Amino acid sequence: MKILVPVKRVIDYNVKPRVKSDGTGVDLANVKMSMNPFDEIAVEEAIRLKEKGVATEIVAVSIGPVKAQETLRTALAMGADRAILVQTDDEVEPLAVAKILKAIADEETPGLVILGKQAIDDDSNQTGQMLAALWGRPQGTFASEVTVEGDSVTGKREVDGGLEVVKLALPAIVTTDLRLNEPRYASLPNIMKAKSKPLANKTPADYGVDTTPRLKTLKVTEPAVRSAGIKVADVDALVAKLKELGVA
């Protein structure tokens, strides 16, 4: 079985984003970029399935600028077999990403598509669901456990009341949650080997997809600075203060 793993290049999760002075977006100049953490979990899960003998090939896909090759090389160093970069400098929205992934899925015919439940830059949490709708395949979202048996995949997900288990007929789409696994570090020998693994370069036009944005960002601002708290002498003073603020 072939597994397709989409990965996204985002601001490193350890970096505090800065908003541009004109409020048009997030400042990416001289900022450390890395693979989206949820996608890293997806790559790790695909590798584990291959190590169990369930999968035979792992194909990593990224949609973004030429520097996204670095993200794909990371996936290759972790254990992916080959990669596809759909190169574009446009800001690609989830629907366009899903359309491109659907076209790639039609070409590659994977048995399973595993991707992060959301990207930490826009937090859209839409791509996996949109891909499932466009591709006409079952989906299991926010998976904290994945088991492939025969021609089906079982996903366990956390819900408000506890755990929910869904069984999906393959081919299927699974989006990963944080508790699914802990990604491995790429060893130096594997990083060197990744440089020689095949990486194909494509464009959205190759798949007949228009990436023109359908949404317009009006303004980006930083969260308001949290104001300092106050101390009260006793319960009566607390109740009086809450009434004054209109909370009680």
Boundaries of domain holding 210: 2-245
Rounded to the nearest 10 degrees, the angle between the axes of helix 127-135 and helix 94-108 is: 50
Per-position pLDDT tens, the chain of length 248: 999 999 999 999 998 888 888 888 888 888 899 999 999 999 999 999 999 999 999 999 999 999 999 999 999 999 999 999 999 998 899 999 999 999 999 999 999 999 999 999 888 999 999 999 999 999 999 999 999 998 999 999 988 888 999 999 999 999 999 999 999 998 899 999 999 999 999 999 999 999 988 888 888 888 888 888 888 889 999 898 888 888 76
Q: Which letter, b or e, does each residue of 19-31 get, where b requires 16 or more Cβ atoms within 10 Å of its Cβ?
A: eeeeeeeeeeeee
Nearest to 69 by CA among 96, 87, 46: 87
d(CA 49, CA 51): 5
DSSP of 9-25: EEE-TTSPPEE-TTSSS
> Into how many domains does the chain fold?
1
We report the CATH number of the domain holding residue 217 as 3.40.50.620
Question: Which ranges of the chain does DSSP label H, i.e. alpha helix?
Answer: 37-51, 68-78, 94-108, 127-135, 188-194, 235-245
Nearest to 120 by CA among 26, 221, 20: 26
**pLDDT recorded at residue 1:** 93
Task: List, in order, residues 6 or more apart from 165 with CB less than 8 Å away.
Answer: 154, 155, 156, 157
Question: Which ranges of 163-228 does DSSP label H, i.e. alpha helix?
Answer: 188-194
According to DSSP, residue 214 is labeled: S
